[in-house]
Amino acid sequence: MMSTQENGSGDAGRARSALKNGHHVSAPSRKTLTLDTMNANVKVMEYAVRGPLVIRAGEIETELKNGAKKPFKDVIRANIGDCHAMGQVPISFIRQVMCLCFNPELFQSPDFASDVKEHARRILDSCRGSSVGSYTDSTGLDVVRHDVAEFIRRRDGGIPSNPENIILTAGASEGIKSILKLMNQDQDGKRPGVMVPIPQYPLYSATIAEYGMEQIGYFLDEDKNWALDIADLKRAVTEARRHCNPSVIVVINPGNPTGQVLTEDNIRAVIRFAQEEGLFIMADEVYQDNIYAPGSKFHSFKRVQAEMGAPFNTVELASFYSTSKGFMGECGIRGAYMELINLDAQVMAMLKKMLSAKLCPTTAGQACIDCVVNPPREGEPSYESFQAEKQGVLKSLAERAKIVTDNFNSIPGIHCNVVQGAMYAFPRLDLPQGLIDKAKSLGQEPDFYYALHLLESTGICIVPGSGFGQKPGTYHFRTTILPPADLLKTMMDRFKAFHVSFIQSFQK
């Protein structure tokens, strides 16, 4: 038998093996965090709006910059509701107030109206040290929360709003995720279930997957312009109770990706359903300013619930609003609020404790949301320009909503419901069986296969309907209505030419 010295397996042997040509060589280290050891929920979550097609769109843009020859000169990013990226001009009053908040020395400049200065001074006076560089309370600046409460009271015809129930957040997404986190508790060995509309905004499916919760899909009725079908809600909750504990229902109004605006009767039916089934309501109302179709009107869940009276006015409700959408489009500023109705006082205390670990929402976002909920009043210097800019944006969006609807419906094999609100259309595609078979042979969803070829052939980036969910056997895509009118015309011309040619290639 060989000795330790002979086979080099002792300390001396290990020392020699660590030296090579007079240099120290470290033994290969094993990664602590790998795909096998990381959070499994993160691996299964997906976010279609920024998925592989968007990555490919970025690659194509780089290729074009480097001189690559394509059948198009630019990429049209119709995949995401990023208003300013598509050329929307910021609202002057909002940017001027924020400018003064971040550059107080400009208060001496004659270039800013008196109401702009008063608004900015009011915000700064509520900040510690009169600086937006200081932390705020974890729920946000008190003066902004009072302004939000007053905004809600005016919106809802005088129904009171308590500033203590208002929480400012860094975008609506943060508020939505915080409420879902509160709901994330198994009961009787069953995971919490979250009812979401199908099609749905992928933030919800991604967060549900990340938290290890159970998604309960309920189908919107495409034949009724994406209305909620109470019969399908009952089907979904009944089936779900066999394997999870349904706790919350998410409603997106106006709809994303579907662009519908719910009627008051539809909202009443949802509230009645939630009360009967013991569900918490999450009302995603970030597009409440974006109403376009004649006869459509935004109705807040809070107002409808209050007017229904007992027992429906006791249902727990969280509603969300954001500076990213509406007429503002300030996506990167990350300003938003959520209002919590009928929340248990002890749960509210736990929520505020949880939020305190994040310190505070951004002061930029808080200043921005305050400009939206407390805009210039009639008679103030900035009133007329503010109203002109606001109405100009909304009028242009309404025109583009009609252009998109009419153009898609003029293309054979594409069916598009009226874009009543929000910033998107969700047309249905009639795909030939040959295309479907080809896509499946490649392991791809047919609408993804279609969208990928659209991108490669035209530079138009859309999101396939499979990323939002859809009824089996149907195929859709989401596109924004945000491109400026001239770019929108270019986009629709490219789209029509591609669609007709691509579909015909599978019908020979």
HEC per residue, 94-109:
HHHHHHHHHCHHHHHC
Look at residue 418 in the predicted model and tell me its pLDDT.
94
What percent of the chain shows pLDDT beyond 70?
93
3-state secondary structure of 65: helix
Higher model confidence: residue 317 or residue 87? Answer: 317
Asked if residue 98 has pLDDT above 80, the reply is yes
Interstrand relation of 475-480 and 424-425 (parallel, antiparallel or unpaired): antiparallel
The stretch 216-227 carries a mean pLDDT of 93
CA separation for the pair 285, 477 (Å, rounded): 22
CA separation for the pair 478, 481 (Å, rounded): 10
Q: What is the pLDDT of residues 274-302, one digit of tens each?
A: 999 999 999 999 999 999 999 999 999 99
The stretch 21-32 carries a mean pLDDT of 64
3-state secondary structure of 390: helix
Q: What is the pLDDT of residues 397-417, one digit of tens each?
A: 999 999 999 999 999 999 999
Q: What is the pLDDT of residues 353-391, one digit of tens each?
A: 889 888 899 999 999 999 999 999 999 999 999 999 999
Banded pLDDT at 24 (limits 50, 70, 90): low
The closest alpha carbon to 257, from 303, 214, 204, belongs to: 204
CA 129 to chain centre: 34
CB 328 within 8 A of CB 364: no
Asked if residue 194 has pLDDT above 80, the reply is yes
Banded pLDDT at 8 (limits 50, 70, 90): very low
* DSSP states of 262-291: --HHHHHHHHHHHHHHT-EEEEE-TTTT-B
CA trace torsion 365, 370, 371, 376 (10° rounding): 180
At 490, which amino acid appears?
Answer: T
Interstrand relation of 244-252 and 191-198 (parallel, antiparallel or unpaired): parallel
Banded pLDDT at 23 (limits 50, 70, 90): low
Look at residue 43 in the predicted model and tell me its pLDDT.
72
